[in-house]
Structure 1
Amino acid sequence: MKINSTVILTLVLLTLMLGAGSVSAFLGFTMGSSALKGVSSPDGRPTTKFSSSNNNKVQQVGITLLKEEDIIKSTKARIQENKTAKKTTQDNDEIKPQKTKTTEKQEEVAQEKLKPGFPIVSDSEGVSMSVQSVRYSGGDLLVRVKMQNQGADSVRFLYSFLDVTDDKGRTLSAITEGLPAELPANGPTFTGTISIPTALLDNVGSISLALTDYPAQKLKLQVSDIPVEK
């Protein structure tokens, strides 16, 4: 009897333990399932990841293709604009020199009409030198001179031989500009300027110019009593 009661007690204890274990396992499974609801495992497939990434890029960037006709029209329009701009620039460049020449001619005419009594002319052996006008500019007196050779032979000059004197007989320093070193026979009229520093002309009423050819020194061009009063 003692053996049977011990066996029965052991079986009962085992049954209770199994039952308790089964209940614990069921409860644990149930609680775990509830906790993991809404959670999905990550997609570990590389091909899926790459394909989804490429699709996103294509959707974000987008490509717009232009029509061939639109490209041709745009190119022609730009070429035409460049041609028009270039032509306008060329026209302006051509107009500017013309305006400059006209202005210079007007200034020359105005300079020649500054004072009465001009031009003052000197002739020698078919060569003439004439003073057209005088004017003060900056710190210099500008004497505008024209020269022409109507003789049969060309004539050469060294303007270092040009004598400039005032009405008191004093020699004045001067700089020539634009006057030719040689006057051709039956040639055109040449125009130049003789510049004299204003500081040398204090209390001076008139000046004189004297020039001879080089090396023959056969000519004697002399223009006297050129008024220079301010």
Structure 2
Amino acid sequence: MRINSTVLLTLVLLFLMLGAGSVSAFLGFELGSSALKGVTTPDARPTTGKFASSKANSSQPSAVTLLKEEEILKIVKSRIEGKAKAAKSEKLDEDDEDINGKKQKPEVKPQEVVQEKLQPGFPVNAENQGVSLAVQSARYSGGDLLLRVKMQNKGADSVRFLYSFLDVTDDKGRTLSASTEGLPADLPANGPAFTGTISIPTALLDDVKKVSLALTDYPDQKLKLEVLNIPVDK
């Protein structure tokens, strides 16, 4: 009797479980259907036409023209020859410029020795024992009378001078102060000519028309050079 009641209870529970499951499934289906209302299924058909055409257009390689080996060699040869001609043309242009520059460049001639133009009454010379003293010119500049002097020793012995012993006098016998520049202290034997300047202040020459120079060697004073009546008119 107990067995029958247990079986009956089991069956009842089983039916209740099945009913509850069915009800739950039905309610879940209804809720899902109501939630999916208004939602349409996307078009799953593949649009192969557009993609295929665009892919075909983009991936289709352009036609490549292959050159023959002979044509390639000709192109390379022509380019090499063109570069060589251009370089040769530039070289010829540079050579032409050099030639034209040399033609246009004036020829430099050696400087000619210009003979000094002497003033009237010059030079005034004095010579003793092979030693000469000559006044080449006289001019006024910057408040001084400048006498251009040339000295030379053609004798066998060298001669020394001390120009502080140079005597300068005017045509009235008055002694004038003077300074020298460029004249050598020693004149070598058989030596070249030396030039220099004797300066006399013009303030001392207001009424002077001629001056004279007197110079002796130092310290022996064996020779005396006298240059007389040098014209100094203004």
Q: 2:122–2:136: 8 Å Cα contact kept in structure 1?
A: yes
The aligned runs of 1:153-168 (5 Å cut-off) are 153-168=157-172
Distance (whole Å) between structure 2 residues aligned to residue 215 and residue 83 of structure 1: 65
1:226 corresponds, among 209, 218, 230, to 230
Give the number of the structure whose residues are more often helix, by fraction: 1
Quote the residue 1:22 is aligned against. Answer: 40
Quote the residue 1:148 is aligned against. Answer: 152
Quote the residue 2:23 is aligned against. Answer: none
Quote the residue 1:125 is aligned against. Answer: 129
The aligned runs of 1:55-204 (5 Å cut-off) are 67-75=83-91, 77-78=93-94, 81=97, 94-95=108-109, 98=111, 101-102=112-113, 105-106=114-115, 108-109=116-117, 112=118, 114-115=119-120, 117-168=121-172, 169-177=174-182, 179-204=183-208
Q: Which has the larger radius of gyration?
A: 2
SS in 1 for 2:40: helix
**Amino acid corresponding to residue 220 of structure 1 in structure 2:** K
**CA shift digits 1:134-184 (9 cap, x unpaired):** 12234332212232333332222232322223345133122232x333333
Shift of 1:83: 8.1
CA distance 1:21–1:174, shift in 2 (3 Å): same
CA RMSD of aligned residues (A): 4.0
Distance (whole Å) between structure 2 residues aligned to residue 205 and residue 16 of structure 1: 145
Quote the residue 2:22 is aligned against. Answer: none
Shift of 1:221: 0.7
SS in 2 for 1:153: coil
**CA shift digits 1:179-217 (9 cap, x unpaired):** 333333344444333233334433333222111112221
**CA shift digits 1:118-139 (9 cap, x unpaired):** 3222222232222222122343
Segments of 5+ residues of structure 1 without an aligned counterpart are: 1-6, 30-39, 41-63
SS in 2 for 1:21: coil
Q: 2:128–2:224: 8 Å Cα contact kept in structure 1?
A: yes
Distance (whole Å) between structure 1 residues aligned to residue 192 and residue 223 of structure 2: 19
**CA shift digits 1:52-80 (9 cap, x unpaired):** xxxxxxxxxxxx99714433553565477
Distance (whole Å) between structure 1 residues aligned to residue 165 and residue 100 of structure 2: 56
SS in 1 for 2:39: helix
Q: 1:135–1:142: 8 Å Cα contact kept in structure 2?
A: yes
Segments of 5+ residues of structure 2 without an aligned counterpart are: 1-25, 45-53, 55-78
Distance (whole Å) between structure 2 residues aligned to residue 87 and residue 215 of structure 1: 62
Count of matched residue pairs: 171
Distance (whole Å) between structure 1 residues aligned to residue 152 and residue 124 of structure 2: 14
